[in-house]
Structure 1
């Protein structure tokens, strides 16, 4: 009986501790870097794996990433020598935030949790390496060795693009707090968080809109904010709804070609924000997107971050879903490319179609997304009788070249038949017209004019002979 009571007490205490979720809620608020579930990575495992360099603990020490570790140590040397600072100051600065940095990771291994020095060393080496890399985009190469394989013009051209790709992977993130601390030490506190944000964007997103961004969680979060940054002077045009017009519109998505057949024109947006999609008076405006070899991995990790981080939003996911809906085949890509909306840097139009198909697997649009409203506006325009008839006519007769030739041949035959009929009637009409006593207007026909008299020649007088 005593054993039963003891077991009951232990179970009760354990359940009580599990029921107390206040501490767990606090930890949830601090987490921002996640291990992506196997159900997601199974669709495209390589898109979530770093190929050149590791940042943070999740992929540290993997064999194919070890060659970059020696360059991290040299980056620390560059950082310390440039400002003449001591390593001890760096250690003390980050040591004050060690628990905050640990809490940023959703699934931190026990070895990293228990070994404080090991984790702190990782943050310092990875942070200094990342800081030196992003300086390549906006600073001169003074202070670096001319033959440095990474921190040189050679590295900026050949290595930096691969590092940039790995910096935008969700499992390969460093807390932005590390960069904020390192830059503050370098400038004695003169460089604020906004300066660091802009420096990072200059490397990850050249020509990004210059605007004040809030403190970010990590590089991927900062990059996402820059993609969806909305111009405050540009507000979305809302539809003029009368009599519940949009309530009667179906929620299907049409391809770009079908939309264009209905009379809607595509226009390149003036903003680079993914939220810059709008429809107004028969014009669908879309932001420019550059499709290259890193597009798939970047968007997949942005979608994964929105899926795993509560409160992140769903703007990127909704954008990808919308673009995949209007891109059904190569003709749609060619149409958007001709309007300057898609800049294809990966080859064929088919590759772009396959890219968006892969991005949109297992995702859905938020019912409250502004893009759903845009789609309803487009459908309302396409379902107008004249626009629907126009689309059917183009699709039936002008999409197929043989059907088009048949229409042209039928028109020519009809024209020739009409001309033949007209020329057949004219002689008969003219012959009957001359016998009518009345003119075609119903009035008496004027009498015919007398024929002209032949000219009279004067008589020749003959002279009489005397």
Structure 2
């Protein structure tokens, strides 16, 4: 019994020595590169259940048609597309006249960077035996995306496919576009654009001919054209500096805007009233001119909100954007802040109907109630950033609603302007009052005014 303290002390010494070896890794210069390398993540179970509910926590993040990257590579439901992905590699190699070995060698130059992009990548992919398999995933998935995106951009299938090809004919690519685009927005289903950059530069024969910056801009624009409206994509592509991380990163930039808004003051502000209550308080709701969600502003009693379409795939897209912001801290919180703000002003289908009438929401769901439920569940477990510009918007809106003069105007509008008969009665009473007052003044003035004869 007397030896127990010595045993405990020995165990503590070993623990201390082990942790002292880790002290050097706590230096910011060491930790910063460690956290800045990954950009593609598996969504942890706690985040799935917090944001989406335990009943269907695993439905929002996996792909349904095609696997991209190593995380879902062996999913049985996605294996049917593997044959078509490999065919894309063979067709592109044959078309370019480049040997397959050299194509793999071009991507192998950046293999370590590609692996580092995946957070908690299984070590099996890093061992020598599986490294070639990882390169195969990058080449096959990268070529598949390039073939699909170029085909749709040119509105024409490559000539070396059969006209009835189920995937790479004009009809095949058009019919699969929605499903492929949806899977490209899943945070766990990403291919680094660095892989596409290396493949495009090598297969097109442009490596060394055009600048690195121009080639990166071309890749960004190609993905933007595929993911977004082409007119919007052209404008965005000009403003992006350098190669983006992956397709979801590009979509996030198009959704939130390239230039983040100025940071708000670090002061917490309570939630704002619903859209209907804001209208009743005299605030005008207006569709903003900006297309990104950071364009929410309040000025001179007008709340400007960006227009947005709501459809069957919107919920999955929003959840993946929010997960990307949660897991990749360099991304900011603009999308999450937008979801929280919209949850504030949407309480019921009446609010959705009002926003729809203003052109702020284009609802493609079956009812306004479905759209209201979507926004009401999206921000579960999320908190508006204290540095968000929307904290200041909340403060301005609440100050407008709490202003005494604005309250009186609101009361007057509700009490007398909503019903035309009440308004007519009010006007009649005012006219009668003014007439009585004028008659009284005239009588008094005539009584006290000196007679002209006297």
What TM-score, normalized to structure 2? Answer: 0.81
Name stretches of at least 5 consecutive residues in structure 2 with no aligned partner.
Answer: 436-445
User: Are the counterparts in 1 of residues 157 and 169 from structure 2 also a CA contact under 8 Å?
Assistant: yes
Name stretches of at least 5 consecutive residues in structure 1 with no aligned partner.
Answer: 239-245, 423-438, 445-466
Counterpart for residue 87 of structure 1: 100
User: Partner of 1:171: helix, strand, or coil?
Assistant: coil
User: Are the counterparts in 1 of residues 416 and 423 from structure 2 also a CA contact under 8 Å?
Assistant: no
Spell out the pairing of 1:384-463 with structure 2 (5 A cutoff): 384-392=403-411, 408=421
Spell out the pairing of 1:258-269 with structure 2 (5 A cutoff): 258-269=277-288
Deviations 1:182-228 (A, max 9, x none): 11113322361011101101111123251321321111111111222
User: Are the counterparts in 1 of residues 184 and 190 from structure 2 also a CA contact under 8 Å?
Assistant: yes
User: Partner of 2:309: helix, strand, or coil?
Assistant: strand
Aligned-pair Cα RMSD in Å: 3.5
Question: Could you say if the C-alpha distance between residues 16 and 410 of structure 1 is closer, same or farther in structure 2, counting changes exceeding 3 Å?
Answer: closer
Structure 2 residue 18 is matched with structure 1 residue 14: yes
Counterpart for residue 245 of structure 2: 217
Question: Could you say if the C-alpha distance between residues 10 and 247 of structure 1 is closer, same or farther in structure 2, counting changes exceeding 3 Å?
Answer: closer
User: Are the counterparts in 1 of residues 151 and 158 from structure 2 also a CA contact under 8 Å?
Assistant: no
User: Are the counterparts in 1 of residues 106 and 198 from structure 2 also a CA contact under 8 Å?
Assistant: yes
Counterpart for residue 46 of structure 2: 39
Deviations 1:149-191 (A, max 9, x none): 1122222332110111010111111111101111111332236
Distance apart, 1:414 and its partner CA: 11
Mapped to 1, the partners of 2:423 and 2:288 lie a distance apart of 42
User: Are the counterparts in 1 of residues 294 and 334 from structure 2 also a CA contact under 8 Å?
Assistant: yes
Counterpart for residue 61 of structure 1: 74
User: Partner of 2:385: helix, strand, or coil?
Assistant: coil
Distance apart, 1:86 and its partner CA: 1.6
Question: Could you say if the C-alpha distance between residues 410 and 326 of structure 1 is closer, same or farther in structure 2, counting changes exceeding 3 Å?
Answer: closer
Structure 2 residue 36 is matched with structure 1 residue 29: yes
User: Partner of 1:221: helix, strand, or coil?
Assistant: helix
User: Are the counterparts in 2 of residues 230 and 275 from structure 1 also a CA contact under 8 Å?
Assistant: no
The higher-RCO structure (CA 8 Å, 6+ apart) is 2
Mapped to 2, the partners of 1:99 and 1:124 lie a distance apart of 14
Compare CA radii of gyration and give the structure with the larger one: 1
User: Partner of 1:45: helix, strand, or coil?
Assistant: coil
Distance apart, 1:113 and its partner CA: 2.0
Match for 2:157 among 124, 136, 141? 141
User: Are the counterparts in 2 of residues 32 and 309 from structure 1 also a CA contact under 8 Å?
Assistant: yes
Structure 2 residue 280 is matched with structure 1 residue 253: no
Match for 1:228 among 243, 247, 256? 256
Counterpart for residue 362 of structure 2: 343
Spell out the pairing of 1:273-288 with structure 2 (5 A cutoff): 273-288=292-307
Structure 2 residue 402 is matched with structure 1 residue 375: no
Deviations 1:241-268 (A, max 9, x none): xxxxx99996331111111112221221
Identify which range, 263-272 or 209-218, moves more after superposition: 209-218
User: Are the counterparts in 2 of residues 249 and 379 from structure 1 also a CA contact under 8 Å?
Assistant: no
Distance apart, 1:25 and its partner CA: 4.7
User: Partner of 2:304: helix, strand, or coil?
Assistant: strand
Number of residue-to-residue matches in the alignment: 413
User: Are the counterparts in 1 of residues 297 and 303 from structure 2 also a CA contact under 8 Å?
Assistant: yes
Identify which range, 320-329 or 14-23, moves more after superposition: 14-23
Distance apart, 1:440 and its partner CA: 9.3
Deviations 1:357-402 (A, max 9, x none): 1211111111111111112111222222232234345667888xxx
Match for 2:120 among 107, 115, 133? 107
Mapped to 2, the partners of 1:396 and 1:329 lie a distance apart of 24
Match for 2:64 among 42, 48, 51? 51
